[in-house]
C-alpha cells in the first residue's frame, strides 16, 4: 500500500531494523543465545540439552515452544534455567541480552527474571540480582561504545505457582537495588488454577511502597484473570492481556461492542504487553493475521508490542514489528504509535520517559519518514 511516507505499508525491513524500539515484556531466561546455552551447559556439567549444535538447538526451542499450550511452552525453560545457576552465567546472559537488544534498535527495555529459579547451586537471591545487574551494566556500556545506546530496567518476577512473592517484592523495593535499575515487579507462570489474588499480600505491600508492578494475566486464562489482576491486585499493566478480546462482541452490524471490563481497561489506559509470536505459540491467538492486536489497536487500547521470549519464539522486536506491518498494513506512523505507547507505560520517572520520546523516538522516526519519502519519490518519478 502506497500513500504518504508515514502510512506506506508494509514498512521496508531495513527501516524497521533502524527504528527505535521500546520493549516492556522480555524474559531474561527466554532470550539467551543458543551458543551460550551450549557453552554454559558444558561449563556446568549440564547434560540434559536435547541438542548440542547451536542451529539444531535453536530450532528445537522453537519447535518445543510451538505447542499451543502455555504449560508445554514453559517446560522449555528447564534448560535455560538449568545452565544459569552461577553468578558468572547470570552476568553473561544479562550482558548479552543488553547487547542483542541494542543491536536490534531497542533504546529502552524492561527485562524480567525470577531470582528464585537460580538458587539450585547455593546462590542467594541478593547474589543473583547483583550478578544480573552487573551484566546489564556491562552490556549497556558495550552497547553505548558501539554507538547503540540502550537503557535497561529490571523487573523481578515471582513464580505464581510458588509462595515466595512477598519476599521477591521486598527485594524489588530494597534501596540498594531500587536506585540501580530495578524498576518493578511481576508474577509469571501457569495461570490456570493460580489466580493473581494468591499473591495479594505482595501487591498490597508494593502499593504501600509506591512501587510499580505488572501481572501476567489474560494469556492462557480468560477474563477472570484480567479482572483479578486489575481490580483486586491493582496491576498497572497487563502481561499479555490478549484475552480481553473475549469481552468485545462484534454485532450484526459489524461494529465492536465493549463489555464493562474491556471498556474499563481502555478508559483507564491500562497498557497491554502483547507478544504476537508467543501468543500464537501458546494458543492465545490463532495467527498473526488474526491476532487481537489488530482490533485493539483500531479501538484505541494502549497496546504495546513485545518479544516475550526471543529464543523460544525465534524473534526480535524488529521481527515482531515486521510481522505486524505485513499482517495489518502498518506504516511508520503505526510503529511509532506502538513505541510511544510502550515508552509512556515504562516504569521509570515521567520526565525520563518524556526525554526518550522527544529526544530519541520522535526524531529518529521523523528521519525514517524522510528516508522513506525519498525512496517513494524516486520510485514514482522513475521513467
Partners of residue 256 on adjacent β-strands = 250
pLDDT tens digits, one per residue of 19-68: 999 999 999 999 999 999 999 999 999 999 999 999 999 999 999 988 88
Q: What is the DSSP string of 79-145?
A: HHHHT--SHHHHHHHHHHHHHHHHHTTEEEEEEEE-GGGG-TTS--HHHHHHHHHHHHHHHHHHHHH
pLDDT over 60 (residue 380): no
Residue 5 lies in a domain: no
pLDDT over 50 (residue 383): no
State the distance between the two ends of the chain, measured CA to CA, in whole angstroms: 20
Residue 346 C-alpha cell reads as 515504562
Contact present, 235 and 199 (Cβ < 8 Å): no
Domain that holds residue 172: 13-381
Number of domains making up the chain: 1
Residue 8 lies in a domain: no
d(CA 156, CA 27): 10
pLDDT over 80 (residue 2): no
Would you call 219 a catalytic residue per the annotation?
yes
**221 vs 317, more confident:** 317
CA distances to 8, 77, 214, 329 from 378, in Å: 14, 48, 46, 22
Active-site residue identified among 130, 219, 228, 320: 219
Q: Are strands 248-250 and 256-258 parallel, antiparallel or unpaired?
A: antiparallel
Residue 4 lies in a domain: no
pLDDT tens digits, one per residue of 265-311: 999 999 999 999 999 998 889 999 999 999 999 999 999 999 999 99
From the list 289, 336, 367, 275, the residue with the least C-alpha distance to 7 is 336
Residue 17 lies in a domain: yes
Q: What percent of the chain has pLDDT over 70?
A: 97
Residue 328 lies in a domain: yes
Residue 3 lies in a domain: no
d(CA 146, CA 221): 42
Q: What is the DSSP string of 328-369?
A: HT--HHHHHHHHHHHHHTSSS-HHHHHHHIIIIIHHHHHHHH
pLDDT tens digits, one per residue of 308-329: 999 999 999 999 999 999 999 9
Residue 16: band (very low, low, confident or very high) from pLDDT cuts 50, 70, 90: very high
The whole-number pLDDT of residue 258 equals 98
Domain of 235, CATH number, reads 3.20.20.140
Residue 2 C-alpha cell reads as 502506497
Contact present, 2 and 8 (Cβ < 8 Å): yes
d(CA 343, CA 304): 9
Other CB atoms within 10 Å distance of the CB of residue 194: 17
pLDDT over 50 (residue 132): yes
**Residue carrying the nine cell digits 526524531:** 363
**Residue carrying the nine cell digits 489466580:** 195
pLDDT over 80 (residue 8): yes
d(CA 94, CA 89): 9
Residue 4: band (very low, low, confident or very high) from pLDDT cuts 50, 70, 90: low
CA distances to 11, 40, 207, 319, 321 from 14, in Å: 8, 33, 42, 11, 12
CA distances to 79, 155, 351 from 114, in Å: 15, 9, 29
Residue 116 lies in a domain: yes
d(CA 157, CA 193): 18
Residue 193: band (very low, low, confident or very high) from pLDDT cuts 50, 70, 90: confident
The b-or-e profile of 281-309 (16+ CB within 10 A means b, else e) is bbebbeebeebbbbbbbeeebbbbbbbbb
Q: What is the DSSP string of 240-278?
A: E-GGGGGGEEE-TTS-EEE-HHHHHHHHTT--EEE-HHH
Residue 5: band (very low, low, confident or very high) from pLDDT cuts 50, 70, 90: low
Question: Over the Cα atoms of the chain, what is R_g?
Answer: 20
pTM: 0.95
Residue 84 lies in a domain: yes
Amino acid at each position: 500500500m502506497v500513500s504518504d511516507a508515514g502510512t506506506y505499508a508494509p514498512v521496508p525491513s531495513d527501516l524497521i531494523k533502524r527504528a527505535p524500539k521500546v520493549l516492556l515484556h522480555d524474559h531474561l531466561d527466554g532470550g539467551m543465545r543458543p551458543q551460550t546455552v551450549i557453552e554454559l551447559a558444558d561449563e556446568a556439567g549440564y547434560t540434559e540439552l536435547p541438542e548440542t549444535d547451536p542451529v539444531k538447538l535453536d530450532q528445537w526451542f522453537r519447535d518445543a515452544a510451538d505447542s499451543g499450550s502455555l504449560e508445554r511452552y514453559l517446560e522449555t525453560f528447564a534448560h535455560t534455567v538449568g545452565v544459569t545457576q552461577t553468578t558468572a552465567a547470570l552476568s553473561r546472559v544479562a550482558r548479552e541480552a543488553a547487547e542483542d537488544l541494542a543491536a536490534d534498535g531497542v533504546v529502552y527495555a524492561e527485562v524480567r527474571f525470577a531470582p528464585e529459579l537460580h538458587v539450585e547451586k547455593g546462590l542467594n537471591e541478593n547474589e543473583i540480582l547483583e550478578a544480573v545487574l552487573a551484566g546489564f551494566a556491562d552490556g549497556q556500556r558495550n552497547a553505548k561504545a558501539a554507538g547503540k545506546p540502550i537503557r535497561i530496567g529490571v523487573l523481578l518476577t515471582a513464580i505464581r505457582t510458588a509462595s515466595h512473592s512477598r519476599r521477591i517484592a521486598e527485594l524489588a523495593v530494597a534501596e540498594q537495588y531500587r536506585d540501580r535499575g530495578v524498576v518493578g515487579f511481576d508474577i509469571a507462570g501457569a495461570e490456570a488454577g493460580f489466580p493473581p489474588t494468591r499473591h495479594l499480600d505482595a501487591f498490597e505491600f508494593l502499593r504501600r511502597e509506591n512501587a510499580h508492578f505488572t501481572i501476567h494475566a489474560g494469556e492462557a486464562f480468560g477474563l477472570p484473570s484480567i479482572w483479578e489482576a486489575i481490580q483486586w491486585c491493582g496491576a498497572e499493566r497487563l502481561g499479555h492481556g490478549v484475552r480481553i478480546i473475549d469481552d468485545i462482541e462484534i454485532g450484526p452490524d459489524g461494529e465492536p461492542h465493549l463489555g464493562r471490563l474491556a471498556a474499563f481497561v481502555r478508559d483507564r489506559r491500562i497498557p497491554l504487553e502483547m507478544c504476537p509470536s508467543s501468543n500464537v505459540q501458546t494458543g492465545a491467538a490463532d495467527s498473526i493475521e488474526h491476532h487481537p492486536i489488530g482490533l485493539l489497536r483500531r479501538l484505541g487500547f494502549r497496546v504495546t508490542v513485545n518479544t516475550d521470549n526471543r529464543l523460544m519464539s525465534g524473534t526480535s522486536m524488529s521481527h515482531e514489528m515486521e510481522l505486524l506491518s505485513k499482517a495489518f498494513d502498518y506504516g511508520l506512523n503505526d510503529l511509532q504509535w506502538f513505541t510511544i505507547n510502550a515508552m509512556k507505560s515504562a516504569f521509570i520517572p515521567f520526565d525520563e520517559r518524556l526525554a526518550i520520546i522527544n529526544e530519541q523516538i520522535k526524531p529518529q522516526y521523523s528521519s525514517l519518514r524522510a528516508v522513506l519519502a525519498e525512496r517513494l519519490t524516486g520510485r514514482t518519478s522513475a521513467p
